[in-house]
Amino acid sequence: MWPEPCQKYSNSALRIDDQDTYPQRLVGEFVGLVVSNDWANAEYKHMVVRVHPKALEAYAGQMFHLLCPSPDGAEVWMRRPMSVYRVDRDAGCVEFLYKTEGRGTRGMAMLKAGDEFNIAGPLGKGFSLKPEWKNIVVLGRGVGLATLAPLAQLARNSGVRVTAILSARSPEVLMSKDYFESLGASVVTVFDSDGSSAVENVETILEGLIADSAADAFFTCGSARLLKLTQRLGKARGVPGQVAMEQIMVCGFGACYVCVRTFEVGGVKVLKRVCRDGPVFNMQEAVGW
């Protein structure tokens, strides 16, 4: 016979108006309601989900693990990790900016306003700002911009100035420029289509920011080239930084070790779990991919 369930624990997902019987929890499973799920451009969609207030404790760089519906009736195994794009505490919503890649995100793209969506989180360690950093530079590309966007929100709330270098294949697929600007960031856009995203050009921009004392720390996501550049420049010029890493995940909370990657800490190679030890890491410890 099964033991009586403990009053302090619950295995049921929290719906928007549910009472939380275990408020000490750091992570939960939530059934939210999709408010909107619109195309941001030809490749990316922007989803707004109303959730239980507990889920609104998510902060910049953390992620949710999403139970995506099936796009074709067959099973979609495992949840899909997705960065928090924005937390709108007034509206009670979390937002995701996502690329429709495979079956999970295609199923997610089919959700409409009013549909239920099961999300678990917030998971992982996000970005942190040191008090002495008054000017930060964020550099992102592709889905990396979704991960970096809430950092601009965090910086604004902390009185920190942001220069955002947004990289894309072409102006048509650039995302989040308006959002970064609305948060007070100075935005620099660079593209493959006109060659301005070349490492040498981005390096010149960064050197200029360092010379103007506008780069107390670098934050990057979504590009191995940008990571290598900020690591090299950061080491040479003494600029610290953080990187948000991506890795295929299964459990999302540290139990299965599927998401392990190699890092170099104090000259020693160590293995860390991206889901639990990250996804945000010291930029200099990340071993590129």
Query: Which of ligand FES, ligand FAD, none interacts with 81 (beta carbon under 5 to 8 A by kind)?
Result: ligand FAD
Closest CA to 224 of 200, 245, 202: 245
- Interface pick for ligand FAD out of 138, 279, 280, 281 (rule CB under 6 A): 279
| Residue written as token pair 């966007």 | 149
- Interface pick for ligand FAD out of 39, 102, 158, 182 (rule CB under 6 A): 102
Query: Which of ligand FES, ligand FAD, none interacts with 254 (beta carbon under 5 to 8 A by kind)?
Result: ligand FES
Closest CA to 80 of 107, 51, 61, 56: 107
Q: Are 146 and 40 in contact (CB under 8 A)?
A: no
Q: Supply 213's token pair.
A: 């004392």
Compute how many residues bind ligand FAD; rule: CB under 6 A. 22
CB of 68 to ligand FES, least distance (A): 16
CB of 24 to ligand FAD, least distance (A): 25
Site for ligand FAD in 21-60 (CB under 6 A): none
Please say which residue, 18 or 57, places its beta carbon nearer to ligand FAD: 57
Q: Which residue's Cβ lies closest to ligand FAD? A: 102
Burial class (CB in 10 A: 0-12, 13-18, 19+), 220: buried
In the chain, the largest separation of any two C-alpha atoms, in whole Å, equals 70
CB of 121 to ligand FAD, least distance (A): 11
DSSP per residue, 120-144: EEEESB-----TT--EEEEEEETTH
d(CA 87, CA 29): 17
- Angstrom distances, CA of residue 123 to CA of 189, 257, 279: 30, 15, 9
Query: Which of ligand FES, ligand FAD, none interacts with 78 (beta carbon under 5 to 8 A by kind)?
Result: ligand FAD
Q: Are 127 and 61 in contact (CB under 8 A)?
A: yes
d(CA 7, CA 178): 47
Site stretch for ligand FAD (CB under 6 A), options 29-37, 143-151, 167-175, 206-214: 143-151
56 belongs to the binding site for ligand FES (CB under 6 A): no
Q: Supply 122's token pair.
A: 């917030």
Query: Which of ligand FES, ligand FAD, none interacts with 121 (beta carbon under 5 to 8 A by kind)?
Result: none
Q: Which residues contact 58 (CB under 8 A, 6 or more apart)?
A: 64, 84, 87, 94, 121, 122
Query: Which of ligand FES, ligand FAD, none interacts with 258 (beta carbon under 5 to 8 A by kind)?
Result: ligand FES
What binding mask, one character per residue, do residues 231-270 give for ligand FES by CB under 6 A, x or -? ------------------xxxx-xxxxxx-----------
127 belongs to the binding site for ligand FAD (CB under 6 A): no
164 belongs to the binding site for ligand FAD (CB under 6 A): no
Amino acid at 223: S
In the complex, the residues that contact ligand FES under the rule CB under 6 A are: 249-252, 254-259, 273, 275-276
Interface with ligand FAD by CB under 6 A: which residues? 63, 78, 80-83, 97-99, 101-105, 143, 146-147, 246-249, 279
